[in-house]
Structure 1
Amino acid sequence: MDRRAGRRQGRALGPGGTRRRDPGPGGRGAGERADQRQGPGRGVTWRLPDPGPVPPGRVRVDCHVHTVHSGDAVSTVEQIAKRVAAERIDVLCVTDHHSLDGAWEAVERDIGARVVVGEEIRTRAGEVIGLFLAERIPYVLPLPEVVRRIRDQRGVIYAPHPLDPNRTSLGAEGLRELHEHGALDVVEVCNAKISDPEHNAAAANFAARNDIPAAAGSDAHDPQGIGAAYLHMPDFDGPTDFLRKLPEARIWGEHRDHVGWQPGRGS
C-alpha cells in the first residue's frame, strides 16, 4: 500500500472512509441522461439540461479531474480549490495519469470538497480509471491485470470517454471485454472534453443496453474545465454505496474548450 494511504483513507473516501468490495454492474436510464442539445457560450458546442438545485442529502460529483501531476494538465491544487467553490462541487474524483500524488495533495490541503482518490491508467487495450484507490497502478499493463489490481483494492472500474476516437479509449471491443467478464462498473456517458456529442451518446447507449451505471466527468486539465460535467446524486459513503446510488443520479455537462489541449494529445 502507498505509505501515505493508511492515514489518509478516512478523509479521502467519503463519510466514514468506508472501503468495501463493490457489487457488479447495475443501474438504468443512462441513455435518457445523454439527451444533449446545443447551448450558447464561448467554447460550448453542446449542453445538457440543467438538473436543478441540489437539495439536502444530494451532492454534485465531478468524476474525472486532473492536476499538474498528470503531466499534461496545468491545474494546481490551489486553483482547484477555488474552482470547486465557484462550481459548487461537493465531491471531486482526482484521476491523474499514472499518479495518486495530486489526489493525496488535495486531501491534505482540504480543497473544500470531499476527494475520491483515483487514477487514469493506460492499459494495452486503452484507458480505464480506478476510483477509491489506495495504491498506484503502473501503466501499459494488460487490461485483465489492471482490473485485478483495482479489484484487489476494492476500487471501482470506470470507463472514461470510452468511444471517443480521438483518445486512447477502450473502444467498443474493450467495453465488451470488460462487460463480458463482469469488470465494468461505470461508463462515462458525459465527458466535457468531447466536442462531438455523438461520442457521448454512443457511450450512453452502450450503458443503457447493458444496464451499466452511467457517470459524468469534466476531464478537466485546466481550472476552467472543473465542473463542466458532474453527477447530481444522493450522498454516498464509500465505493459500494456510490455504485448503489449511482442509478439515481442526474447528469449535467457542457463542452468547454480546454487550454492547451488538442484531440490526440493527452486525455
Structure 2
Amino acid sequence: MTETALKVRIDLHVHTRHSHDSAAPVDSVLRRCQDSGLGMVAITDHDNIRGGLEARERAAGFPVIVGEEIKSAKGDIIGLFLEEPVPSRLSPQETARRVKDQGGLVGVPHPFDRVRPTAMGLRAIEEILPWVDFLEGYNAHTFLSMDNRRGVEFAGAHALPVVACSDSHSALELGRTFTEVPADELNGTPEGLMRAIRRGACVGRRPNPWLMLTPAYAKLCKLVA
C-alpha cells in the first residue's frame, strides 16, 4: 500500500433500534456514519438482520453490510453478509456453519471481555477457530484495556486479522472507533473485505462514559414502554 493510497474508515459492529438494547433510528445511524467520516458500516443487531436490511434499503449509495450479532450457546458471534437471520442459542459450531452456508464472514466480538457475560472466551473460540475470519482487537465498550489487548495477542498467535469496532448503541458513538483500510480492496464482497482488513489499521477511542450507559437505558425504556 502506497502512502497516497486512498483509505476508508469502516465499522463492523453497529446496533440500531432493532436491538433490544438500542433506540438508535436507522436513518440517524446512517447520517452519523457519513457525517463522522465513515465510509462503510456493518449493521449487526442482536439476533436479527432487520436493521441491516432497512439500512441497506435506505442507504442511498452508502455501503452497508447486513450482519447480525448472534447469541450462540457459548457467547456472541458476528455474522456478516447475511440474507437470512441465524437463530440464537445454537452451538458455536452450528452458528458459524450457518453463517458460512450463506457465504458470510464469521467474527468474534469482544472475545475476552471479562465484564461481559456474552463474551465467548478462550475455549469457545478454539471450538470454532477453523471458521473464524476476524477478531475484534478493540471494542469500544470493553471496559478493561487488557481484555482488548488479549484479543490482539490471540489473533496474532493464530494469524487472524483484527478490527476495531464501536459496538455503538447510539448514533453519537459512531466515528471514534474504526478500522482504516485501503479503498481499492473494497468491492462489496466478503473476499474483498477480508483483503482490506488484513491490510488495515485499528483506531480505537472510547465514547463519552455516559454514552456507554446507552444499552442499559434503552433496555429500560423498552421495558416500560
Question: Shorter chain as normaliser: what TM range?
Answer: 0.7 to 0.9
- Between the aligned partners of 2:196 and 2:31, the Cα distance in structure 1 is 28
**Aligned AA for 1:135?**
E
- Between the aligned partners of 2:94 and 2:206, the Cα distance in structure 1 is 33
Q: 1:97 aligns with which of 46, 68, 87?
A: 46
- Between the aligned partners of 2:193 and 2:176, the Cα distance in structure 1 is 21
**Aligned AA for 2:198?**
P
The answer to which structure has the higher helix fraction is 2
8 Å CA contact retained: 1:80, 1:111? no
Q: Which residue does 2:89 correspond to in 1? A: 140
Q: Which residue does 1:170 correspond to in 2? A: 120
Q: Percent same amino acid among aligned pairs?
A: 32
TM-score normalised according to structure 2 size: 0.87
Relative contact order (C-alpha < 8 Å, sep 6+): which is higher?
1
| Cα displacement string for residues 175-205 of structure 1 (whole angstroms, at most 9, x for unaligned residues) | 22222xx111100001011122111100000
1:259 CA drift (Å): 3.7
Q: Which residue does 1:186 correspond to in 2? A: 134
- Between the aligned partners of 2:105 and 2:61, the Cα distance in structure 1 is 23
Q: Which residue does 1:218 correspond to in 2? A: 166
1:243 CA drift (Å): 1.1
TM-score normalised according to structure 1 size: 0.74
8 Å CA contact retained: 2:93, 2:127? no
| Cα displacement string for residues 41-63 of structure 1 (whole angstroms, at most 9, x for unaligned residues) | xxxxxxxxxxxxx9663211001
8 Å CA contact retained: 2:161, 2:198? yes
**Aligned AA for 1:170?**
M
Please report the RMSD computed on the Cα atoms of aligned residues, expressed in angstroms.
1.9
- Between the aligned partners of 1:123 and 1:208, the Cα distance in structure 2 is 24
1:247 CA drift (Å): 1.6
Matches within 5 A, 1:106-255: 106-110=55-59, 113-167=62-116, 168-179=118-129, 182-235=130-183, 236-237=186-187, 238-255=189-206
Deviation larger for 116-125 or 104-113? 104-113
